[in-house]
Chain A
């Protein structure tokens, strides 16, 4: 039973560039959430995808966008990268079948470590 997988594991970019991060949810899960985790901080919610649509969004600028595919996998895109975007980007999957108030535990991937030079 494959867990949540993310790619790549590490990435180095320069300011102004664009990046795409990928996530495959745990088998049987249909909801994908993305988080940004700065060093020494808790994960900060970016957005959540369910049924190929963005269901909720945190306090992140429009430079952060995403997509969910019919197989439930997801991408996170960040444009015009800033130094402050350097962080661990985590993907978490869960079951969203009970609606937006689902309290199913989230299963996290190992994350993508993004460094901006």
Chain B
């Protein structure tokens, strides 16, 4: 089957760096996306990795390694407003190419 695994919760301190991992089991996919969702809000697109390597967008970076079936989202200089749930998502490269989301990682920021 196809699945994405993320830690359910991560806690970090304001100003620090945190990494949220995403491992997946799918035969092939077009790329790995990350979304942020605050309580009561809509998921918002953060980043997309089509190729292996690191993509940087401001304080947020995302990494993909297809050979390791692994990716992560890196958040630097954490701010209290970063407290949210973070989802990784893939679109499998087969006939059943519907987007699959992970169950999400709840990020708690401590002052």
1/0 per position for B77-111, CB-CB distance to A under 8 A?
Answer: 00000000001010101000111111110000000
Docked-complex contact A101 and B45, CB < 8 angstroms: no
Contact of B48 among A43, A58, A105 (CB under 8 A): A105
A103 touches B48 (CB 8 A): yes
How many chain-A residues does the 8 Å CB contact rule pick out? 25
Q: Are B45 and A106 in contact (CB under 8 A)?
A: yes
Which residue of chain A is the closest to B98 with respect to CB atoms? A45
In the complex, B44 has a CB within 8 A of chain A = yes
Query: Measured between alpha carbons, how far is A56 from B99 in the docked complex, in Å?
Result: 10
Pair A43/B101 contact, Cβ less than 8 Å? yes
Q: What total of chain B residues lie within 8 Å of the partner, measured CB to CB?
A: 24
Whether B31 contacts A103 by the Cβ 8 Å rule is yes
Q: Is the CB of A33 within 8 A of B99?
A: yes
Contact A41 B50 (CB under 8 A): no
Residues of chain A from 62 to 100 with CB closer than 8 A to chain B in the complex: 90, 92, 100
**A42's contact among B31, B48, B91, B103, by CB below 8 Å, is which?**
B103
Which 9 pairs of residues, A with B, have the shortest CB-CB distance? Answer: A42-B101, A105-B45, A108-B42, A108-B43, A110-B42, A45-B98, A42-B103, A43-B101, A42-B104
Would A45 and B104 be within 8 Å (CB), given that A90-B42, A103-B50 are in contact?
no
- What's the minimum C-beta distance from B65 to chain A, rounded to whole angstroms? 18
User: For residues 37 through 54 of chain A, which have their beta carbon under 8 Å from a beta carbon of chain B?
Assistant: 40-45, 48
